[in-house]
Amino acid sequence: MCGGFTCSKNALIALNILYVVVASILISVAVYGQASSLVTNLPIVGGILACGVFLILISLLGLAGAVKHHQVMLFFYMVILFLLFLVQFSVACACLAVNSDQQEMLAQQGWNKVNLEVKEQVQERFQCCSFQSRIMPPNTTVDYPSCSLVDRICCNDKEISLDCQCQPCMEKLKETIDNAFKLCGGIGLFFSFTEFLGVWLTVRYRNQKDPRANPSAFL
């Protein structure tokens, strides 16, 4: 049975190496979720990205504490990792719980905050025009670039008319944004439980004696 000091030490070191890999996956997924939609103001996806960066830093602390069997390092590592578990678990659940109306609201906030150049890139990439509708309320300025170029692409260079126009961008982005939220939420939820495992291993490892150390110098 793997319950000795050396086994606990090696398991904690291996787990922290896994955390580095997990953090890299989280960062990659979050970056994909943002880059695939080009509308970068999706705060929940940003939360997953922040957790990934923070997890790498915490992993380095855990590796140092595990190698040295340093009680203070292990204590702070254990506390911070547990708090990170709570945050990442909450953010991942929020990603999975976001419905289509909330996704549209967040995407609308992002669309409103980016400049016309970014909006033009979105329109060209997804071959769409405006966010939801080309019809603007009275006394308001147009919040999207000219659609003449993308309309020619959508209509295959035919004559542009009301029957031949590009769809609004939200219709094109809806599936992409939904997939990004689900992917971030699923991976974040799965790997958040490995952090709870890390807390349990750290608690056990801290309370074990190093057989190579002075028996009277437990702490």
Tokens, residue 146: 């000219």
Is the pLDDT score of 211 beyond 50? Answer: yes
pLDDT in tens, 108-131: 887 777 777 777 777 777 888 877
pLDDT score, position 39: 47
pLDDT in tens, 8-39: 888 888 988 988 887 888 788 777 766 665 44
How far is C-alpha 131 from the geometric centre of its chain's CA atoms? 24
AA letter at 81: L
pLDDT score, position 36: 61
- pTM given for the model: 0.65
pLDDT score, position 195: 81
What is the Cα–Cα distance from 182 to 139, expressed in whole angstroms?
38
If DSSP states are collapsed to H, E and C, what string results for 38-79? CCCCCHHHHHHHHHHHHHHHHHHHHHHHHHHCCHHHHHHHHH
